[in-house]
Amino acid sequence: FWTPHAEQGSRSIMNATFRIADESLLGRFIAEAEELGLKGLRGHRIVGGIRASMYNGLELGSVERLVGFMRDFENRHS
């Protein structure tokens, strides 16, 4: 359902970049995430997809909320 952009050995620990298998769901994913307060997930303007930035000041709970939302979204659209 989720496909990473970067090769395994080149992935960032600060930015998780990936695509959703059905690109027609991207807009819905972004909109639902924003409704839950998960902002700034739209990927790079050229590369597209989704980018979750996890910088030093981000609390673990924020990452857990994103993962929970992604699991729920995948379950509803698989």
Domain 2-77 sits in which CATH superfamily?
A: Aspartate Aminotransferase, domain 1 (3.90.1150.10)
CA terminus-to-terminus distance, the chain = 7
Q: Is the pLDDT of residue 73 over 90?
A: yes
How confident is the model over 18-71, as pLDDT tens digits? 999 999 999 999 999 999 999 999 998 888 999 999 888 889 999 999 999 999
pLDDT at 6 over 90: no
Structural domain boundaries in the chain:
2-77
pTM: 0.88
β-pairing, 42-44 vs 48-53, is antiparallel
> CB–CB of 62/55 below 8 Å?
no
